[in-house]
A and B are shown apart, each in its own frame.
Chain A
Amino acid sequence: MTWVLANLGLIWARTLDHVVLSLPPILLCFVIAVPLGWLARRYRVSRGIILTGAGLLYAVPSLPLFFVLPAVIGTGLRSPLNVIIALTLYGVALMVRVVSDGLDSVDADVRQSASAVGYSAWSRFWQVELPLSGPVLLAGLRVVAVSTVSLVTVGAVIGVQSLGSLFTDGFQRGIQAEIIAGLVATVGLALIFDGALVLAGRVLMPWTRKVLPAKPAVLLEGSAA
Chain B
Amino acid sequence: MNLFASAIDWILDPANYVGLNAIPLRLGQHLVFTLVTLVIASVIAIPLGYLIGHTGRGRSLAVMTSGGLRAIPTLGLLTLVALWVGIGVVAPYVALTVLAIPPILAGAYTGFEAIDRRTVDAARAVGMSELQIVRKVEVPLGLPLLIGGLRSATLQVIATATLAAYVADLGLGRYLFSGLKNRDYAEMLGGSILVILLALVLEGIFALIQRFAVPRGVSGRPGPAATPARTPRPRNRSERTAVVR
Across the interface, B60 reaches (CB within 8 A) one of A56, A102, A150, A224, namely A224
Separation of A222 and B235 alpha carbons in the complex (Å): 9
Q: How far is the CB of B49 from chain A (nearest CB, A)?
A: 16
Say whether A46 faces chain B, with CB atoms less than 8 Å apart. Answer: no
Q: How far is the CB of A47 from chain B (nearest CB, A)?
A: 10
Could you tell me if B189 and A67 are in contact, using CB atoms closer than 8 angstroms? yes
Say whether B163 faces chain A, with CB atoms less than 8 Å apart. Answer: yes
B64 partner residues in chain A, CB cutoff 8 A:
224
Report B66-84 CB contacts with A as 1/0, cut-off 8 Å: 0110111111111110111
Q: A65-B196, A71-B3, A139-B239 are in contact. Are A158 and B180 (CB under 8 A)?
A: yes
Q: How far is the CB of B26 from chain A (nearest CB, A)?
A: 14
Q: How far is the CB of B160 from chain A (nearest CB, A)?
A: 8
Within 8 A of B (CB), among A102-122: 102, 104-105
Say whether A197 faces chain B, with CB atoms less than 8 Å apart. Answer: no
Report B208-245 CB contacts with A as 1/0, cut-off 8 Å: 00000000000000000010100100111111011101
Q: A102-B238, A180-B80, A225-B236 are in contact. Are A68 and B73 (CB under 8 A)?
A: no
Q: A60-B199, A71-B3 are in contact. Are A174 and B245 (CB under 8 A)?
A: no
Q: How far is the CB of B104 from chain A (nearest CB, A)?
A: 17
Across the interface, A176 reaches (CB within 8 A) one of B7, B77, B83, B236, namely B83
Could you tell me if A135 and B195 are in contact, using CB atoms closer than 8 angstroms? no
Nearest B-chain residue to A146, judged by Cβ: B71
A170 partner residues in chain B, CB cutoff 8 A:
79, 83
Report B182-211 CB contacts with A as 1/0, cut-off 8 Å: 000100110111011001101100010000
Could you tell me if B200 and A67 are in contact, using CB atoms closer than 8 angstroms? no
Q: How far is the CB of B184 from chain A (nearest CB, A)?
A: 12
Q: How far is the CB of B87 from chain A (nearest CB, A)?
A: 9
Could you tell me if A61 and B73 are in contact, using CB atoms closer than 8 angstroms? no
Across the interface, A149 reaches (CB within 8 A) one of B71, B158, B242, namely B71
Report B137-169 CB contacts with A as 1/0, cut-off 8 Å: 000000000000000000100110011001100
Separation of A63 and B196 alpha carbons in the complex (Å): 10
Tally A-B pairs: CB < 8 A.
Answer: 173
Q: How far is the CB of A19 from chain B (nearest CB, A)?
A: 15
Separation of A64 and B192 alpha carbons in the complex (Å): 4
Could you tell me if A62 and B159 are in contact, using CB atoms closer than 8 angstroms? yes
B35 partner residues in chain A, CB cutoff 8 A:
none
A180 partner residues in chain B, CB cutoff 8 A:
80
The count of residues in chain B whose C-beta lies closer than 8 Å to any C-beta of chain A is 60
Say whether B111 faces chain A, with CB atoms less than 8 Å apart. Answer: no
Say whether B63 faces chain A, with CB atoms less than 8 Å apart. Answer: yes
Q: How far is the CB of A51 from chain B (nearest CB, A)?
A: 8
A158 partner residues in chain B, CB cutoff 8 A:
180
Could you tell me if B79 and A101 are in contact, using CB atoms closer than 8 angstroms? no
Could you tell me if B238 and A150 are in contact, using CB atoms closer than 8 angstroms? no
Separation of A146 and B80 alpha carbons in the complex (Å): 20
Q: A104-B231, A139-B235 are in contact. Are A64 and B162 (CB under 8 A)?
A: yes
Say whether A79 faces chain B, with CB atoms less than 8 Å apart. Answer: no
Q: How far is the CB of A110 from chain B (nearest CB, A)?
A: 12
Say whether A97 faces chain B, with CB atoms less than 8 Å apart. Answer: yes
A91 partner residues in chain B, CB cutoff 8 A:
none
Could you tell me if A136 and B76 are in contact, using CB atoms closer than 8 angstroms? no
Say whether B173 faces chain A, with CB atoms less than 8 Å apart. Answer: yes
Could you tell me if B176 and A63 are in contact, using CB atoms closer than 8 angstroms? yes
Given contacts A64-B191, A186-B76, 6 further A-B contacts (CB under 8 A): A67-B191, A97-B245, A150-B74, A171-B82, A225-B63, A225-B239
Q: Can you report 8 residue pairs joining A to B where beta carbons are below 8 Å apart?
A: A55-B203, A61-B155, A61-B162, A67-B176, A104-B231, A164-B73, A187-B68, A225-B60
B→A interface (CB under 8 Å): 1, 3-4, 7, 60, 63-64, 67-68, 70-80, 82-84, 155, 158-159, 162-163, 166-167, 173, 176-177, 180, 185, 188-189, 191-193, 195-196, 199-200, 202-203, 207, 226, 228, 231, 234-239, 241-243, 245
3 closest A-B pairs by CB? A61-B159, A105-B234, A64-B192
